[in-house]
């Protein structure tokens, strides 16, 4: 843990690059390895601990587990912790990689007894594979179809009991039959600034880069309630401190680094501000349709909807209405602009006021 009595020369010696290690390896090294090390999500941790303890006492694989929540909140990390706590192997795949039922059958048929299968983005799995998964989760069996047409035969194949850990950022897209087969569903919430500060101090210690309390508070405040973003910003502050800041991970260098990387005081990044800028200047605050907004900022509609919108809506800058996206008074204020007299805000637009939405 950082000692505030350390002088600047001590801090500079501690800040050292990880030679030959890429960003993905660094991110993996910062992941907690046990539930006791995991910061935040207290209710989920308590519930999950009970599920795992009960399974260990019975000597059986725990029920299947579904985790939902935004990107970067710790779903993958918890899947790794589940396997570690059970002392079981972990197999990792994703929904988009399962294009056919045969792809899923190949994975399931090679699982060892008690193995944990982590299926990320489970809502993007192909429908035929999804239907095969129903039977596998409930009866630990897959039906392999041999042949085609009228002569096709389904051969039942038993598979070893396993635990599926599914992760999704869009739980509403999962069909009810699939959701019902999970014995425990965990919803991952965004983290408080205090929790992010604890994560940042832990990560800084692992990186050998002691962090001032004020700097940790500044980074946490710009991290959108997301540990992945907090750790990424921490590494950029560390880079700035090494190259331009005399090695000190202090408030001054933290602010300078975050300003350089276009992350403002409230956590808005380049894409967030581009969306607000287009919405305010070109469409007079909206309403405007998602696809038109996405084209205007040069991004895919899914990127705008999944990456930027949740934060903008949660922070009070944007409102979703039946007629399109609408900027709030807070958005006008944050961008230093005065709304025109006929600007449509969230409630008015929802009631049918304002200009027609673009497609």
Residue 170 labelled as part of a binding site: no
Residue 181 labelled as part of a binding site: yes
Judge contact between 65 and 163, C-beta under 8 A. Answer: yes
Element (H, E) at 335: none
- Measuring CA to CA, how many Å separate 297 from each of 269, 272, 287, 303, 357? 13, 10, 16, 11, 17
CA-wise closest residue to 26 among 37, 34, 18: 18
Residue 138 labelled as part of a binding site: yes
CA-wise closest residue to 252 among 8, 2, 1: 8
DSSP 105: H
Residue 208 labelled as part of a binding site: no
Judge contact between 332 and 285, C-beta under 8 A. Answer: yes
Burial class (CB in 10 A: 0-12, 13-18, 19+), 256: middle
Give me the active site residues, please: 75-76, 120, 169, 228
Q: Around Cβ 155, how many Cβ atoms within 10 Å? A: 9
Residue 228 labelled as part of a binding site: yes
Longest dimension (CA), the chain: 79
Residue 191 labelled as part of a binding site: yes
Judge contact between 303 and 295, C-beta under 8 A. Answer: no
Q: How far apart are CA 236 and CA 260, in angstroms?
A: 10
Cα 64 to chain centroid distance, Å, stands at: 20
Q: What does residue 358 show for φ and ψ, rounded to 5 degrees?
A: -75, 155
- Measuring CA to CA, how many Å separate 83 from each of 57, 62, 91, 115, 224? 16, 11, 9, 8, 28
Residue 325 labelled as part of a binding site: yes
Q: How far apart are CA 52 and CA 64, in angstroms?
A: 11
Give the sign of the dihedral formed by CA 155, CA 160, CA 161, CA 166. negative
Residue 240 labelled as part of a binding site: no
Residue 108 labelled as part of a binding site: no
Binding residues: 30-31, 72, 75-77, 138-140, 181, 191, 228, 320, 325
Binding residues for ATP: 30-31, 72, 75-77, 138-140, 181, 191, 228
Binding residues for Mg(2+): 76
Binding residues for DNA: 320, 325
């Amino acid at each position: 843990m950082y000692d505030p009595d350390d002088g600047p020369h001590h801090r500079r010696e501690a800040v050292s690059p990880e030679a030959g290690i890429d960003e993905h390896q660094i991110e993996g090294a910062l992941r907690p390895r046990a539930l006791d090390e995991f910061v935040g999500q207290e209710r989920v941790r308590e519930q999950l601990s009970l599920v795992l303890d009960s399974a260990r006492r019975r000597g059986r694989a725990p029920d299947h587990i579904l985790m939902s929540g935004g990107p970067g909140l710790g779903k993958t990390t918890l899947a790794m912790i589940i396997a570690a706590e059970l002392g079981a192997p972990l197999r990792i795949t994703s929904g988009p990689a399962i294009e056919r039922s045969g792809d899923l059958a190949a994975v399931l048929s090679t699982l060892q007894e008690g193995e944990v299968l982590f299926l990320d983005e489970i809502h993007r799995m192909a429908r035929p594979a999804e239907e095969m998964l129903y039977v596998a989760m409930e009866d630990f069996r897959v039906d392999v179809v041999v042949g085609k047409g009228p002569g096709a035969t389904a051969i039942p194949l038993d598979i070893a009991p396993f635990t599926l850990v599914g992760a999704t950022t869009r739980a509403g897209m999962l069909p009810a039959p699939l959701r019902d087969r999970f014995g425990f569903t965990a919803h991952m919430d965004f983290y408080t600034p205090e929790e992010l500060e604890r994560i940042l101090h832990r990560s800084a210690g692992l990186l050998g880069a002691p962090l001032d309390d004020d700097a940790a508070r500044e980074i946490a405040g710009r991290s959108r309630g997301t540990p992945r973003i907090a750790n990424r910003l921490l590494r950029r502050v560390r880079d700035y401190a090494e190259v331009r800041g005399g090695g000190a991970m202090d408030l001054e260098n933290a602010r300078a680094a975050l300003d350089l990387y276009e992350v403002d005081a409230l956590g808005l990044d380049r894409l967030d501000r581009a969306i607000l800028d287009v919405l305010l200047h070109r469409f007079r605050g909206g309403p405007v349709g998602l696809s038109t907004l996405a084209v205007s900022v040069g991004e895919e509609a899914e990127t705008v909807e999944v990456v930027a919108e949740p934060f903008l809506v949660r922070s009070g800058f944007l409102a979703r209405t039946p007629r399109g996206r609408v900027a709030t008074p807070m958005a006008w204020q944050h961008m230093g602009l005065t709304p025109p007299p006929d600007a449509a805000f969230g409630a008015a637009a929802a009631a049918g006021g304002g200009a027609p939405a673009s497609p």
